[in-house]
Amino acid sequence: MIYMFLANGFEEIEALCPLDLLRRAGLQVTTVGIGGDMLCGSHGITVAADIPEGLYKDAAPDMLIFPGGMPGAKHLDESRVVDTALKAAARHGSYLAAICAAPMILGHRGLLDGKEAICFPGFEGHLTGATLSQKRVVRDGNIITAAGMGVALEFGLELVATLKGREAAEDLRRAVLAD
């Protein structure tokens, strides 16, 4: 199963663009509301999460996704549910994806050690153990990180490529006229 964690103050495009692309690709993604099931993004757009944090129980997810935005990424970083999910994902070898400020969540937990990663400028100090990338979106093993809202489409397509293959991602890119 694929889970996207949302908290008040999330960056709407960083969440909704990849979510839309993953679902267009036929993948089942469940959004998890940290702090409630109705969440307000950093630009005042309210989104209903599929499930509240109390219903999250998956001990072996295929992928966890963390959009950035502030203070959304900070709320995710402080969440015990996110912490539990990341520990389970690390044990299982799940894919971990984070964009903008959210890679700090992975860095704070030592999950970027020895990995190439990118984040929004100014958050590099939180990427503990990572080699900073110059790429806009980077995948290193099971870790996928992206620089920010301007690369949300590329980030989403990389998630699709990771889960369904490069050809499926390129077909989707053409289908949404991103070529």
**What pLDDT does residue 42 have?**
97
Confidence of residue 167 (pLDDT cuts 50, 70, 90): very high
Mean pLDDT computed over 58-71: 95
Pick left, alpha or beta for residue 160 (phi over 0 → left; psi -120 to 50 → alpha; otherwise beta): alpha
pLDDT per position as a tens digit, 6-29: 999 999 999 999 999 999 999 999
Give me the pLDDT at residue 24, please: 97
The answer to whether 73 and 148 have CB atoms below 8 angstroms apart is: no
Question: Helix (H, G, I), strand (E, B), or coil: what is residue 149?
Answer: helix
- pLDDT > 90 in the chain, percent: 97
Secondary element (H or E) of residue 145 = strand 143-146
Task: Return the pLDDT at 179.
Answer: 76
Check whether 151 has a pLDDT greater than 90: yes
Residue 50 clears pLDDT 90, i.e. is over it: yes
* Nearest one of 135, 126, 6 to 65, comparing CA atoms: 6
Cβ-contact 18, 152 below 8 angstroms: yes
Confidence of residue 59 (pLDDT cuts 50, 70, 90): confident
Write out the DSSP string of 35-71.
T-SEEE-TTS-EEE-SEEGGG---SS-SEEEE---TT
Tens-place pLDDT, residues 67-122: 999 999 999 999 999 999 999 999 999 999 999 999 999 999 999 999 999 999 99
